[in-house]
Homo-oligomer: A and B are copies of this chain.
């Protein structure tokens, strides 16, 4: 009641207030001294536990206690709230006095407790006096994830997943407030702009008590060495000055206004006790994403220190803890709303650009073109980077994952994308460890699924690797795999993609939105389906019709179907895709009705016995809502239409999808890539919050 009143006066109505309950109340062992007056600071919500026998004069048989009205004293089980035990109580070997106080003191040592001891004839043997100063101390975070730092959440020191979970959230400050001469913000040990504070989590030290602490007491903020490698804490030098500096943004001044409190070089630091009812705001900055050796959890502690005589080190008499989890990096599947489309312009991709421009215009996104001076002829926009985002109750922004591929496009993610509220993260691997499978055409994510009752509301990451059974196979480098697995919220699936010369999963699979069933379809490349198309053509008398009409590669349906070696190669490719199909069905809980087989033929390159698409790979498409940008397959012409386009339309248009065929033949297909490989899409984040996942 008292507490209710007190807190509501100082906190915005929205903020929740938790009354400390008994089970988290901590007891402090304390000793009185006979014929001596001691002074100590008491923290509201705790108990002082005093073994009377240990300080009592030797002959003592009885005792009595007197204390100020605001001191609550309790002997064993007999509770006498608020008032004293004037009458003599029998003193036993284990007689224990429990002291607590409801409210903070207005002045140092304004509360008193005295214990008198008596002999068997009730003669007075002596007494011990204690002067108490009560303070309220609570280190607070947004443990209920509503964007507001509530007071003293009983769960603030732990972290739990799920809608009924709790625990504060921290972002890796991986964007750059400055666009000019930029570095990633967490690389700087100071705050350069007020806007940077938005990327950090607030932590508030709430204190209530006399204007200052009694002599010999101080507050210390501290954390472990391990945690200190992953987090940094700033605070305004003083709330007033800070507000001032927020107004007049004099940079140099500003910097001084936000001194570093804790870092890996400073594990503990005194923080001011400001007196009265006060709130001291800290800004907590995440430095590292969850990874193989870091589960993402961090603990920060605040202690009240007491010095027992100048001669000796200070000892903590009260410690409060809060826990943060660093937000994971999250990928966005094809089913999310597209925002921006990224492609490269090269001296030879005019046709492709034209097609893309029309498509993007039609579906209403921004088109961002990376020009030749930047891409240096490297057109594989999909492979150099992956768009994702990080999210918290107080802040959210996109984060690009830069691939260790580091082609000529290597500088683009850092130089062009990193900026204010646009984050950057990468994992570096030794050159010799990096293979074609490290390109992010080999990193995709499924739409949300539920598998044997387990929900993946953010979908599942999909990568391609070698068969575990094949020696000398290529794999995505371990540091990137470790990073992806450590994010936890989109548990990855490893497919088999090493059977392809380029080796990317986007060469045989894609996801498109659908109005029915699970809200999407999985598209798979299918030589089997392709042969069906070609056999039908032959059967209907179009055996002479030519694939690649008008091109030097032109070849008739009959000739294709006549080639037994080619057929064998495609049977092998089908078996590889079938293996992935069965795995995806299991890991994503898909039925065959959730899968569409698109006609694609492959050929196996003798030198390394791996496969490439025979004609533009219609699965390797860009998905912008219901508008698809599909590699133009240049199939046999029947009644003026491409038989392959007709087949693809017949499979996809019933889902309300518009098929736009884009000519990528010379500029991409001939270089072993297609539309998807040559583009990238930044999408809207999920509305579902990652911390609500049940893990």
A residues with a Cβ closer than 8 A to B are: 23, 26-31, 49, 51, 54, 58, 94, 96, 220, 222-226, 267-268, 292-293, 301, 303, 305-306, 308-309, 311-317, 452, 467-471, 478, 496, 499, 528-529, 532, 535-536, 539, 568-569, 571-572, 574-576, 578-579, 581-582, 585-586, 592-593, 604, 609
Contact = CB atoms under 8 A, between A and B. Distances in A.
Given A316-B469, A469-B305, A470-B268, A582 B29 contact: yes
A528 B54 contact: yes
B539 A312 contact: no
Nearest to A304: B469
Nearest to A498: B313
A293 B486 CA distance: 12
A468 B222 contact: yes
Nearest to A499: B313
A23 B451 CA distance: 12
A449 to B, nearest CB: 17
Contact of A468 (B23, B29, B58, B224): B224
A28 B528 CA distance: 16
A579 B315 contact: yes
A58 B536 contact: yes
B303 A469 contact: yes
A575 B528 CA distance: 80
A654 to B, nearest CB: 13
B313 A470 contact: yes
A332 B301 CA distance: 32
Interface of A is mostly: mixed
A312 B609 CA distance: 7
Nearest 10 CB-CB pairings of A with B: A29-B578, A312-B572, A222-B468, A220-B469, A268-B469, A308-B572, A222-B469, A308-B575, A293-B293, A58-B539
A209 B639 CA distance: 55
Contacts of A576: 315
A317 B267 CA distance: 55
A313 B312 CA distance: 73
Contacts of A317: 579
B309 A572 contact: yes
A468 B267 contact: yes
Contacts of A51: 592
Given A478-B225, A582-B26, A592-B94, A31 B313 contact: no
A26 B469 contact: no
Contacts of A267: 468, 471
Nearest to A30: B578
A235 to B, nearest CB: 17
A609 B310 CA distance: 11
Contacts of A470: 268, 313
A604 B536 contact: no
A585 B576 CA distance: 61
A309 B566 CA distance: 12
Given A58-B535, A469-B316, A568 B311 contact: yes
A592 B31 contact: no
B585 A27 contact: yes
Contacts of A469: 220, 222, 268, 303, 305, 314, 316
Contacts of A28: 578, 582
B311 A468 contact: no
A597 to B, nearest CB: 8
Nearest to A222: B468
B54 A604 contact: no
Contacts of A268: 468-471
Contacts of A54: 528-529, 532
Contacts of A569: 311-312
Contact of A313 (B468, B532, B609): B609
Given A303-B469, A471-B268, A478-B226, A29 B315 contact: no
Given A309-B572, A315-B576, A31 B468 contact: no
Nearest to A529: B54
A243 to B, nearest CB: 30
Given A94-B592, A311-B609, A581-B29, A467 B316 contact: yes
Contacts of A96: 592
A645 to B, nearest CB: 20
Contacts of A309: 568, 571-572
